[in-house]
Structure 1
């Protein structure tokens, strides 16, 4: 107890000072004198003990049930290999019908529970320079990553991601992907979602031949894009940041796969990838698109369409007619056999290629000996009559 409080109370009750006189003498307010006397009369000297100034109610305090749910969600999401940050936890709380506290409160709760490992050297998110397509189908990113089976076999995973909505268009597993496989996958996506305005990939040979050691024809993927007027973009060699969205997507994918048992077969892995695609597109809030799901973001706006006028392919090559009266030519990533005729066996030839059309002439005399219009569905190409 403060002695001053007891002196004030006794000065009024035992010495007869008025409230105003006591307030003036001891340098306090009359209201404080009234308060001290009320406590003194009710509780005696013990009522003059200093009392807590804390508010009697704390309307901003997180309810215990919400605190418990925050910790529970953190553990559940982490065990499932999903993002378990404060923003994601807030989204799940709201979906469950709770009034979600601020993300800083959620982060503080996780810290108190010992569920956050400090990372002082982690680059702040505010320092990132972001590039994002304005519309769905404005840009599709594609890449190939890997995962292992239980026996250690390395399996390739091909995925296509919409740049604007982060919508996972396709994810497929195979022992290895060829250029023809990638072309088939892209053709299926075009049939399903419509052709995009552009694509963005690395410089793998299944996507482009522009950095091939031996320059040749455009690959099947490039031919398909050209046929639909789709702009093809490729990242700089050794600079995966250009395809940052799909590289970051692979982290989410592999964290999810790591939380599960390794599959025994490629078919089991594909089943897991199908499950992941449904979860990723429809049940996972994405921070970069306003905590919406990719499916919701993809369907919210009209789709971009190709407006590019592709340049025709012009090239030349030399060859010699083989013993069967044929020459070979790579077109759309596959080797084609052009019929010339047995009468020209061993003849050196010059081939002029304009998209699907070829003109074959005798390299020594310049005489045209065959013309072809390549049928992409066939390997053998008979010459025009």
Structure 2
């Protein structure tokens, strides 16, 4: 592709070359007509004589021969270490006695994906999927979060003074954040509940389905991990009453439920640990505004920088 300041496009080069070769224009006259140098006009005329119209396109700048390229044996060693140990260019360079930039170029040359997009267990690229419509699949999970004692926890008072936050006998304990997240739109519904028993999870599902219905989304399937509460008859019976198909992830494969796992990470970074809170009530009071921001205003990189509500029919237009 020509750079933006190039005086000739491939079409202009062809016109110049035809003026010189086919119509017999002198090189200097053609160069003046197309406002290029004499040598440029001669180059494109020569390529046209040799290659025809196909020669008017840019050639790659890659050299025909690279005498200083890393030996093939070293490249194979780098590739083997990457596949066996799943380590990055810096550690590969230390083991193979080459520069980290060289190790990186070898990985790119062999089309090996970055570690960030690979499954650490298998080394294979992560296979991403997305349902085609809202409600087709809703991910559900629970995030356990330590409550903040009155006066603040360790982020406010320091580790030693804030240690009561870990002691249930002081009436602090944990918050259980139950979340239902739509696979297609990433629209999320979260409740702070006192536990994660089967009855609590079933009650949350009922309220979550009603919340999604109020936003024009009919839940068809729910995906959970294999936690105790999600394998009991209470959960199955509730799904049956709501006309929902329950699904479960494979054991030891949390990546299957990765969308809600990633939501909980965002929730911790942007709300729970975003600033020091002096009480659990203060943190909870900030949550509705944050969830509203997430659903209706926050750009989501997984859906092209749009907020989740933009993928639910007419929902973003109803919200102010």
Q: TM-score, normalised to structure 1's length?
A: 0.41
Bigger helix fraction: 2
Name the structure with the higher strand share. 1
